[in-house]
Amino acid sequence: MTNIPILSLLIFFPFIGSLVILLINRKDKFYDNKVKEIGVWTSIINFLLSLIVFYFFDKTDSQFQFIEKFKIINDLDVYYYLGIDGISLSFILLTTLLIPVCIITSWNKIKEHISYFVVSFLMIECFLIGLFSSLDLFMFYIFFEGSLIPLFLIIGIWGGKNRIYASYKFFLFTLFGSLLMLLGILTLYFYSGTSNITLLMKTNIPFTLQIWLFLSFFISFAIKIPMWPFHTWLPDAHVEAPTAGSVILAGILLKLGGYGFLRLSLPLFPEASEFFTPLIFILSLIAIIYISLVALAQTNIKKLIAYSSVAHMGFVTLGIFSRNLEGLQGSVFQMISHGLISAALFLSAGSLIDRMQTKNINDFGGIWKQMPIFSVFFMVYCLGAISFPGTTGFISEFLVLLGVFKINFLISFIAAFGIILSVTYILWLYNRVCFGDNIYKGISDLNINDTLIFFIFLFLIIMLGIYPNFLISIYELSTNKLIIN
């Protein structure tokens, strides 16, 4: 197994798929269908490939595995250097799971420029897997910023009314952050003489330099996660993005920030991380409490879910910077769990919006009578979002709170209020959407395709909620290693 460059295959398979799509004859009668089928099969095969990686992944080894390494830029000593540990693997599995879902759910909804839509998603997959498996700072940066282009096009071409403003805001915010990170990367590179992440983890960097570097990385990741006060691009982007765009945005792209904190900020700048912990705790608490209150006031269903994402990401940053075992494990679990739950919530919102042609929560009502199957699924996702025991949300937020509790009782106490607030806005959302007066008539329930996808999410949310060790065991050693360092 060590001889096959399986990670490269995983990265470039979607790229090859998109090349094939661009080469199909445009005048073909079944052009659209062919494009979609190739897109779906490429992403599904990639998912199976990632399962193969998962099968051969050695959970008892805390080192990076499936290493591939060769020089790409000679004079800079930049390597094409891939390798994954448990944390990366979890995210890769999440990515390869969500991409086929995105393409399948937009099967009948996207009418215009279908080939570019599919190509954009395949390119995003390529960039994201590359990001999660790269062990060289320059490679990391290239993949980190490369993922901007496809999503910019997705929001801009297939988005809603105000899509241009939203796509600009999304693009410029993240570009600004990542260019600052580039300066940080260059400074780090000239200080240590290498861009190899595994070597950099062993380098000691003086404290003042650490502070500056940490800040440059922090702004980039904080915009991506997003943390309060850098979050303002997210609600706009979510509201305007098509359903699949929202799914990929909430499901994976937000996690890039958290992943960056785990992979780079914590191990490379340990003292600076400690120094900035109070600041980050305060920002996270503001995100959890204040943004939850903001979510409570929303009448736009997508905006509400977007704000709830910001609040949930607050738990991730809390967990990461508590820097103990429970906190770290909880935060990784929270990212995966939120990836599933928010993706499922956005899918639900998408199918509601498609049927009612409105995003205003007050216009919904009495859905349960018309769409009983949907209402059941939606209920479970909502329970996940309020971290109900038995769902993944419970495990992750419990672990995070436990980790934070060890550091400071008060912070943990305040953060726990966030959960209560999430109960209010999510249940109130469910109440307004599914119960109440029956306004709409003649609305069809989920079709078989959607039911299948919805069931996959429901299964994963409950399965991982009941048996969390299945996921935790993958990245346990990797998070342990973060603490030892």
Partner 1 sequence: MQLIDIKLFSPEIVLIFGSIFILLYGIFFNNSKDSNKKIFYITLISLISSFYCSIFIAGTNVNLFNNLLNNDLYTLFFKALVISGTIIITYISYNYLEDLNIIKPEFFFLILLCLVGILVLISSRNIISMYLGLELQSICLYILAAYRKFDIKSSESGVKYFIIGVLSSGILLYGLSIIYAFTNSTDFYEISKSISLSLQSNENFLIINVGFVLILCGLFFKIAVVPFHMWAPDVYEGSPTPITAFFTTIPKIGAIGFLIKFLNITFESYSDAWFQILYLVSIISMILGSIAAVNQTNIKRLLAYSSISHMGFILIGIMTADHIGIKSAQLYIFIYMLNVLGIFTCILCLKNKINGYYLENIKSFSGLLKKNPFLSFSFAILFFSLAGLPPLSGFFGKLYILISAVKSELYFLSIIAVLTSVISAFYYLKIIKVIFFDKPINNIYTNITISSRLIIFITLIVSIFLIAFLSDFLEIINTTALISNR
Binding stretches for partner 1 (CB under 8 A)? 71-76, 113, 116, 138, 141-143, 145-146, 148-149, 152-153, 156-157, 163-164, 167-168, 171-172, 175-176, 179-180, 182-183, 186-187, 189-190
Residue 329 CB, nearest approach to partner 1 (Å): 32
Q: Which is nearer to partner 1, 127 or 378 (CB)?
A: 127
Residue 187 CB, nearest approach to partner 1 (Å): 6
Structural contact between residues 317 and 260, judged by C-beta atoms closer than 8 angstroms? no
136 by DSSP, 3-state: which?
strand
349 by DSSP, 3-state: which?
helix
CA distance 234 to 246: 10
**In sequence order, what are the beta bridge partners of 134?**
82
Q: Which is nearer to partner 1, 181 or 320 (CB)?
A: 181
Residue 189 CB, nearest approach to partner 1 (Å): 8
- CA contacts within 13 A on the Cβ side of 218: 22
Q: Would you list the DSSP string of 17-81?
A: HHHHHHHS-TT-TTHHHHHHHHHHHHHHHHHHHHHHHHHH--TT--S-EEEEEEEEETTTTEEEE
Q: Which is nearer to partner 1, 172 or 452 (CB)?
A: 172
Q: Which is nearer to partner 1, 148 or 345 (CB)?
A: 148
Residue 446 CB, nearest approach to partner 1 (Å): 31
**Residue 323: CB atoms within 10 Å:** 17
Residue 281 CB, nearest approach to partner 1 (Å): 28
Residue 185 CB, nearest approach to partner 1 (Å): 9
Residue 180 CB, nearest approach to partner 1 (Å): 6
Q: Which is nearer to partner 1, 141 or 457 (CB)?
A: 141
Q: Which is nearer to partner 1, 187 or 408 (CB)?
A: 187
Q: Which is nearer to partner 1, 142 or 201 (CB)?
A: 142
How far does Cα 227 stand from its chain's mean position?
14
**What are the start-end ranges of the H helices in 323-391?**
325-356, 367-370, 372-385
Residue 190 CB, nearest approach to partner 1 (Å): 6
Amino acid symbol at 199: L
Q: Which is nearer to partner 1, 116 or 333 (CB)?
A: 116
User: Alpha-carbon Rg of the chain, whole angstroms?
Assistant: 21
- In eight-state DSSP terms, residue 253 is I
CA distance 53 to 120: 24
Q: How far is CA 280 from CA 219, 273, 284, 287, in A?
A: 11, 9, 6, 10
Q: Which is nearer to partner 1, 40 or 119 (CB)?
A: 119
Please name which of 406, 404, 387 lies closest in space to residue 395, comparing C-alpha atoms.
387
Residue 146 CB, nearest approach to partner 1 (Å): 5
